[in-house]
Structure 1
Amino acid sequence: MDPVITRYLFWILALSIAFGAAAQFSRFCLLGGLGSYRQSRDGRRLAVYLAAIGVAILATTLVQSVTGIDLDNTRPAYRSPDFAWGRYLIGGFVFGIGMVLARGCPVRSLVKVTQGNLQALLAVIVMALAAYAMTRTNLYATAFLPWVGALSTNLTSFGIAHQDLASLLDGGREMYWILALAISALLLFASWRWLPLRANWLGWLGALTIGIVVGLAFWVTGGSLGQAAADAAEMMNNPQQGLGLQSFTFSAPMGDVVYFLQRPATFAAITFGVVAVAGLLLGSLISTLIRREFRLSFPRSWQEWTRTIIGALMVGIGSVLAMGCTVGHGLSGISTLALGSFISLAAIMAGAWIALRVEHEFFGRASHGCTLPE
C-alpha cells in the first residue's frame, strides 16, 4: 500500500463525500428537473443541474489555466479527435429512456439507496452488473463494436486536433476562455431566473459544491499528487488501476465496484471510480441522517420490479456505449467543452423527455419521483 497512492485516494474520497452530500440535500437530478418542468413548467430542479454545469465549466477552466493541466488527455478522452457521434447519440438516447424506466440515473439511484429506497437498490445492482459486462467482458467488442465503430469521424482528417469547442472554431486560449465564460454565464443566468437564491439556497449550495468538486477532481488527478501516484504505480509489481487525469462519472465506476468486490483484498483494484461510488454513498448517507430523510420504501408491484430491471439494464449499457452519463458527460465532459459531451447530454435529455411523454400519455403518471429541497 503506497502512501502516495493512499493519499491520492483519500483526496478522491473527500471530494466524493462532498459530492454525495450536495447531491442529497440539493435533490440534484436531471430526471427530476425534466419531469417537473414537463408537468408544471417548474424549472427549479432543472436549474440546480444546469447551475452545477455552469460552475463546473468555470472551475475546470480555472484549474486548467492555473495549473497548466492538459485536458486533452482525460479518462475517458472527452476531447478525442475520434468523434464517435454514433456512440454519443445512440448510447445517450438509450440511457435517457432507461433512467426514466429505472426512476433515476446512477447518481440519483445511489442517493435514493441511502434514503432507504429498495427499488433504487435493485436499479443500482442491475446498472452495476450491466456496466461490468460492458467494460470487463467481451460484450461490447462482440455485440456493439462491429456496427457502432463505423459511426465515427476522425477530426484530424479535417485538420482539427481535438473536439473541444475552441479547437473546432480554430481558436486558442483566449477563445477557450470566451466560450467557457459565455456558456457558464448563460447557464447560471437561466438558473438564476428559475431558482431565486433566497428561497432556494440549498439548491444553489449543492450546485456550487458539485461544480467545484468536478474541477478539483481534475486538479487532484492531473496535478502533482496525481503524477506522483502514477509514478509510484509504475514501480509496483501490481500497478494501481484507474489512475490518470479524470473527474467524476458513476456508470462505468459501478462496474469497477463489481470487479473490486470479486477481489476485495487487492489494493490495486481500488480505482478512482470505486472510491467515488463509496464516497458518494457515504456523503449522501450523512446528509440523509442529518436531515432525517431515511424512509424504507418498496416497489408497489411486480411491474415496477420489471420496469426497474429493464431501465437499469438500458442505463448500464447506454452509459458505457455513450462513454458517459448525466455526470460523466453532463458535468465532467462538458466542463472540458467537449462537443461529444454536449451531444451526448442532448441525446440523454431527448430520450428522457420522450419516455416521460409516452409514460404520461399511456399511463397518466410521472416517473421522476423527486421533490424540491425545503
Structure 2
Amino acid sequence: MEELTVRDWFILVGLITGILYGVIAQASDFCVRRGIADFAEGKGLASATGWLGAIFIALPLTQWMLSERLLDESQMVYFPESLSWWTTALGAAAFGVGMMLTRGCPARLVVLSATGNLRAWFGLFVLGISAYATFKGLLAESRVHLQQTATWDLPTESIFALFPEFDRPLVGIGTIVIGFFALRHGLSRSLIGGLLIGALVAGVWWATAILGSDDFDPINPVSLSFVAPLGETITYVQLASGLEPTFNVALIGGVILGAFISSMIRQEFQWQTFESVADHVRYFLGAVLMGVGGILALGCSTGQAITGVATGSIWSLLVTIIIFMSGYLTHARLLKSKQVSTN
C-alpha cells in the first residue's frame, strides 16, 4: 500500500473536519447571521451564544499554540505585513450586507444546501464564482491593484503578544468575559454547537501545523474558512481531471456530506426553493457581495470572525466588527422597509 503524503493527510483532515462541522452545524442550527439579526430586532444576544461559544474555546487554545510556537504567525494569512485599509473595510462591509440579503453566511449556506435548500445552492454557485473571479479570475488583476493602494503596516503577531508580560492574563480575562456572555443564557443547543466548532477550529490548526512541519514538503497550517474554498471547490468540480484535490475542496465536500447525514438522521431534509423573482434577485446580489467582499476582506464570518479572531489578529478583529455592524444596519434597514410595505 502506498504511503500517504503530507498533502494526502491534509485532504483527509479537511474531509474529516468538514464532516464533523456539517453534523455539528446542522444539528445545532449554528448560524452567526441569526445572532446579528436577532440583536437588530431587539432580542438581545441569546442567538449569538453559538459564535461566542466558538470564540470561548478557539481563542485560548489557539493562543496557547502560538505561545508554545506550535503555530507561527508568519505562516498565517491573518498577519500580513501591510494591507489596504479601504479595500479590506469595503470588502467587510459588502460581506455584511450580502450575508443579510441571502439570510446566511457561506458556511450556513453550505449546510443548508445539504438539507435540500435550493436557494442555498443558488447562492453558493453565485458566491463561489464571484469569489474565484475576484481571487484568480477576471477581477483578480483589478483586486491586486486596488489592494496596493492606501496600505497600512500591521503588527505581524497576535495582539496579545504585543504585551509579552501580560499576554496570558489578557487571554484569560478575554476568555472569561466571552464565557460570561456566552453562558448567561444557559447551555442552549446553539451554544453547544459553538463550543464544539471552536474546538474544531483549534484542532485543525494543531493537526495541520503538525502535519505541515514536514522538512521535505512543508505546508502552512490552515483552519476553517469558506469563501475562497467555495470558489476553489466549484473550479475543482469542473476541472477535476486536471487538478489535485486540496484541504479546502475536501472541507466543503465534507460539510455537505456531514450536514446531509445529520439532516437525514434528524428527518429534517426537505426540498425548498424560491417563492418569487424578488427572492432570486436578493440572493443573487447578496451572494455576489459576499463572494467579492469575502476575498477583499480576506475571510468571512467564519474565517475572520472565528478562526481569525482566535489568532489575536488585530485586522481580523476590525474586519469582524465591520461585518457585524454592516449586517446589523442592513437588517435594520430591511426590517424598516418591510414595516413600511405592510402599512
Cα distance in 2, alignment partners of residues 326 and 57 from structure 1: 15
SS in 1 for 2:220: coil
Deviation at 1:301, TM superposition (A): 0.3
Cα distance in 1, alignment partners of residues 153 and 196 from structure 2: 36
Letter in 2 for 1:190: F
Cα distance in 2, alignment partners of residues 131 and 231 from structure 1: 32
Contact 1:116 1:296 in 2 (8 A): yes
Contact 1:55 1:208 in 2 (8 A): yes
Task: Name 1:338's counterpart in structure 2.
Answer: 313
Contact 1:257 1:274 in 2 (8 A): yes
Which structure 2 residues correspond to residues 165-244 of structure 1 after superposition, within 5 A?
A: 165-167=159-161, 170-172=162-164, 174-193=165-184, 195-197=185-187, 200=188, 202-223=189-210, 225-228=211-214, 231-232=216-217, 243-244=219-220
Decide which of 23, 26, 31 is 2:25's aligned counterpart: 23
Identity of aligned residues (%): 26
Contact 2:91 2:292 in 1 (8 A): yes
Cα distance in 1, alignment partners of residues 87 and 30 from structure 2: 26
Task: Name 1:153's counterpart in structure 2.
Answer: 152
Task: Name 1:368's counterpart in structure 2.
Answer: none
Letter in 2 for 1:196: G
Letter in 1 for 2:159: L
Decide which of 158, 171, 178 is 1:164's aligned counterpart: 158
Cα distance in 2, alignment partners of residues 325 and 179 from structure 1: 25
The reply on whether 1:260 has 2:236 as its aligned counterpart is: yes
User: Do the aligned partners of residues 216 and 266 (structure 1) sit closer, same or farther apart at CA in structure 2, a change above 3 Å counting?
Assistant: farther
Deviation at 1:171, TM superposition (A): 2.1
Cα distance in 2, alignment partners of residues 257 and 8 from structure 1: 15
Q: CA RMSD in A?
A: 2.0
SS in 2 for 1:153: strand
Aligned residue pairs: how many? 338
Contact 1:88 1:347 in 2 (8 A): no
The reply on whether 1:245 has 2:221 as its aligned counterpart is: yes
Decide which of 232, 239, 261 is 1:286's aligned counterpart: 261
Deviation at 1:288, TM superposition (A): 1.2
Deviation at 1:140, TM superposition (A): 2.9
Residue by residue over 1:311-332, the C-alpha shift from the partner in whole angstroms, topping out at 9 and shown as x without a partner, is 1000000000000000110111
Cα distance in 2, alignment partners of residues 176 and 81 from structure 1: 21
Task: Name 2:98's counterpart in structure 1.
Answer: 98
Cα distance in 1, alignment partners of residues 323 and 96 from structure 2: 4
Task: Name 1:120's counterpart in structure 2.
Answer: 120
Deviation at 1:176, TM superposition (A): 2.8
Contact 1:21 1:283 in 2 (8 A): yes
Task: Name 2:339's counterpart in structure 1.
Answer: 364
Query: Gaps (5+ residues) in structure 2?
Result: none
Task: Name 1:12's counterpart in structure 2.
Answer: 14
Query: Gaps (5+ residues) in structure 1?
Result: 156-160, 234-242, 366-374
Deviation at 1:218, TM superposition (A): 1.1
Which structure 2 residues correspond to residues 303-322 of structure 1 after superposition, within 5 A?
A: 303-322=278-297
Residue by residue over 1:251-288, the C-alpha shift from the partner in whole angstroms, topping out at 9 and shown as x without a partner, is 010111122123213462x1221111111111111221
TM-score calculated relative to the size of structure 2 = 0.92
Which structure 2 residues correspond to residues 4-83 of structure 1 after superposition, within 5 A?
A: 4=5, 5-66=7-68, 68-74=70-76, 77-83=77-83
